[in-house]
Amino acid sequence: MPQEPVDHEHRAGLLWDVLTNAAKGRRPPLTYKAAATSIGIHHRPIRYPLELIQNHCLEHGRPRLTALLVSASSGLQGRGFLGEPGSERDLEDVYLENWQNIPNPFSDLQQGELRAIAEVLTANPDAADKYVSVLSRGNQQRVFSKAVLHAYGHRCAICEMSFPCALQAAHIVPFGDPRRELRIDPRNGIALCANHHRFFDDGLIKITPEYQIVYYDPKGKDGSYSAVDAAISLAFHGKPLRLPKNPQLHPSRDLLKERLED
């Protein structure tokens, strides 16, 4: 099986330490390549964790730590940087911030702890209420995903696809719902492959409270279908959803009903 999906938050946690150490030491800006090498990745995907760091700084009114990274060729911050490339002011703000008093926002819980919470949730989904308030949004997503994928034996509940890099935990009622415990309650989730997750979110596929798969165009009249198109869509119409072995973790019929009526 392919590798685990890339964890950008984990990378952001490593980069946060590299950048805050550089700021504390008033060191000159690093190149993107040197920063990427220091956390053991290629320089191209570094923009994903950097975006998380920059967004965090903006949301919390902190100077943009990402001012400390420049391109080797131009000596300036790259395209994703939202400050003014080359500005001395941006850099000085970063040096003046008291980083040692700010905990690393991307390592508030270690992977092992997140796994342990996901295990508690699969044993007792009612615990969602208690845990949701102590987890950051990113960690809520991660705990939810771990719990849901585990519940479904790491397979898509529609097609049984099991490549980890394309398996996702779909929310039945969305993450933004005011009932915050539903963000991490595995009964508000279904393990789906990336295609079926998209079909579900776009309403091409619906799941009834009786756990039946409904495809919006069962006769295939809406456009021309290739063999693969039909195999991942029409073929599942009317079929039962593959449920978790543990009946406690079956998707909530009430939430499925709510979603259908939405």
Applying CB under 5 A, the residues found at the interface with Zn ion are 156, 158-159, 161, 193, 196
Q: How far is the CB of 190 from Zn ion (least distance, A)?
A: 10
Q: How far is the CB of 193 from Zn ion (least distance, A)?
A: 3
How far is 102 from 100, CA to CA, in rounded Å? 6
How far is 220 from 86, CA to CA, in rounded Å? 56
Q: Which is nearer to Zn ion, 135 or 156 (CB)?
A: 156
Strand-strand pairing, 167-171 and 205-207: unpaired
Q: Which of 166, 172, 176, 164 is nearest to 140 (CA)?
A: 176
Q: Which is nearer to Zn ion, 184 or 193 (CB)?
A: 193
Q: Which is nearer to Zn ion, 142 or 196 (CB)?
A: 196
Q: How far is the CB of 251 from Zn ion (least distance, A)?
A: 15
3-class secondary-structure state, position 115:
helix
Q: Which is nearer to Zn ion, 106 or 215 (CB)?
A: 215
Q: How far is the CB of 199 from Zn ion (least distance, A)?
A: 8
Please, are residues 158 and 233 in contact by the beta-carbon 8 Å criterion? no
Q: How far is the CB of 167 from Zn ion (least distance, A)?
A: 9
3-class secondary-structure state, position 215:
strand
Q: Which of 237, 177, 176 is nearest to 207 (CA)?
A: 237
Q: Which of 209, 204, 199, 212 is nearest to 241 (CA)?
A: 212
Q: Which is nearer to Zn ion, 187 or 196 (CB)?
A: 196
